């Protein structure tokens, strides 16, 4: 799964109190992505996929590591899907790369629809269009993802978890729906397909909830609070407490509640791995396990979200590989 979209520092609603921030150095790799002439018309298709690979490798290190365990054709498709989603995210988030996010998002939506119509423009959409000739990826989840990005641009807030879940579905659950046809299913029955798609959505939501918890401080500094308002109130932890990084008993209780819910989504999502083609199971089990390990790192020291971005070291990622491989063999994925 890809690292899902997160916040919208470019949001017009936030523009006045929260000044434009420079693009993160890693995200500069998407600069020029909306330039339809950025890849020569006669350039080989391999150049389009190489561009998508570079975006994935430089920005989504956890996802990229997991993708390496897919067969070559599925791996390239995963990079194309990630690049599409990442550029949509950057349109909302990287203000100096995409200074007019609503106009840029409309451009990206049109480029997507043109790719489905057989008129791809630019490297990402050339790779996407080629992927469409190999896998039956429906357009609706991609369009829903763009609606989720619009929610960020508009400065969405979330009164309840139902509101937050809709957002998580749009920006992350849809990624699972896009990836599922690429990964393939262990059989062609309608029952297997529906169960695999439901699990893919749950795994995407789990990963998005992890991102939200990991980025609490960074998002709050930009005026973005993704945790539901009613849950903040129920635990007696005010938005002002979050914005100033208050570490209180209420904070720990709130975090335990959020982490437990994310764990439930991981449990349901990872159970779906056994429904995938055998050649895709390890990559997805590993990607899910890597993100779940980040969540568990937050669970060990919730206060760290105020001082650093919790991540896994390269040795920690490698250490998870044998367990993920064993679980895919034994079918014990939960």
Across the range 17-43, mean pLDDT stands at 65
Average pLDDT estimate for 17-38: 63
Rounded Cα gap, residues 327 and 334, in angstroms:
9
- Please give the CATH number for the structural domain made up of 12-20+41-330: 1.10.600.10
Q: What is the pLDDT of residue 16?
A: 27
| Share above pLDDT 90 across residues of the chain, in percent, rounded to a whole number | 70
Confidence bin at 334 (pLDDT 50/70/90)? low
> Token match 């992350």: residue?
172
pLDDT at residue 61 greater than cutoff 90: no
Region class of 284: left (phi > 0), else alpha (psi between -120 and 50), else beta: alpha
What's the rounded Cα separation, in Å, for the pair 258 and 262?
6
Would you state the pLDDT for residue 17?
A: 28
pLDDT of residue 305 exceeding 70: yes
Max mean pLDDT among 5-9, 127-131, 216-220 falls in 127-131
Cβ neighbours for 305, distance < 8 A, ≥ 6 positions apart: 213, 214, 215, 216, 217, 298
Retrieve residue 330's tokens: 């034994």
**Which pLDDT does position 24 carry in this prediction?**
63
Residue of 312 and 255 predicted with greater confidence = 255
User: Does pLDDT of 228 surpass 90?
Assistant: yes
Structure confidence at residue 15 (pLDDT): 29
- The predicted structure's pLDDT at residue 40: 74
Give yes or no for residue 93 having a pLDDT over 60: yes
Mean pLDDT of the chain: 88
Angle, alpha carbons 117-119-120 (nearest 5°): 110
User: Mean per-residue pLDDT for 233-244?
Assistant: 95
Q: Tokens 């990005």 label which residue?
A: 149
DSSP structure class, residue 173: I
Query: What is the reported pTM?
Result: 0.88
H helix or E strand, kind and range, residue 262:
helix 249-271
Longest dimension (CA), the chain: 61
Asked which of 12-21, 81-90, 160-169 is least confident by mean pLDDT, the reply is 12-21
Number of Cβ within a 10 Å radius of residue 227? 25
Higher pLDDT, 97 or 22: 97
CA distance 145 to 167: 9
């Amino acid at each position: 799964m890809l690292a899902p979209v997160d916040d919208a520092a470019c949001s017009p609603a936030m523009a006045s109190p929260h000044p434009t921030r420079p693009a993160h150095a890693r995200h500069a790799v998407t600069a020029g992505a909306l330039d339809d002439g950025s890849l020569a018309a006669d350039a080989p298709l391999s150049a389009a996929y190489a561009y998508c690979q570079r975006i994935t490798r430089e920005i989504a290190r956890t996802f990229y590591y997991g993708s390496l365990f897919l067969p070559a054709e599925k791996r390239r498709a995963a990079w194309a899907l990630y690049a599409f989603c990442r550029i949509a995210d950057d349109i909302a988030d990287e203000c100096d790369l995409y200074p007019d996010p609503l106009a840029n998002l409309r451009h990206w939506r049109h480029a997507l629809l043109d790719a489905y119509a057989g008129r791809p423009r630019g490297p990402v959409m050339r790779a996407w269009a080629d992927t469409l000739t190999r896998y039956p990826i429906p357009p609706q989840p991609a369009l829903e993802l763009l609606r989720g990005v619009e929610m960020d641009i508009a400065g969405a807030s979330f009164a309840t978890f139902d509101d937050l879940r809709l957002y998580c579905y749009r920006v992350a659950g849809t990624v699972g729906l896009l990836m599922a046809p690429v990964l393939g299913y262990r059989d062609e029955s309608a029952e297997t397909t529906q169960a695999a798609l439901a699990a893919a959505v749950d795994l995407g939501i789990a990963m998005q909830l992890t991102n939200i918890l990991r980025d609490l401080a960074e998002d709050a500094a930009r005026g973005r609070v993704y945790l539901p308002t009613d849950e903040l109130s129920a635990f007696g932890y005010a938005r002002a407490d979050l914005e100033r990084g208050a570490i209180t008993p209420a904070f720990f209780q709130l975090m335990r509640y959020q982490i437990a819910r994310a764990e439930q989504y991981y449990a349901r999502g990872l159970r779906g791995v056994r429904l995938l083609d055998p050649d895709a199971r390890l990559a997805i089990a590993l990607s899910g396990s890597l993100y779940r390990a980040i969540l568990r790192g937050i669970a060990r020291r919730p206060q760290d979200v105020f001082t650093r971005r919790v991540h896994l070291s390269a040795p920690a990622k490698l250490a998870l590989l044998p367990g993920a491989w064993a679980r895919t063999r034994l079918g014990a994925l939960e």
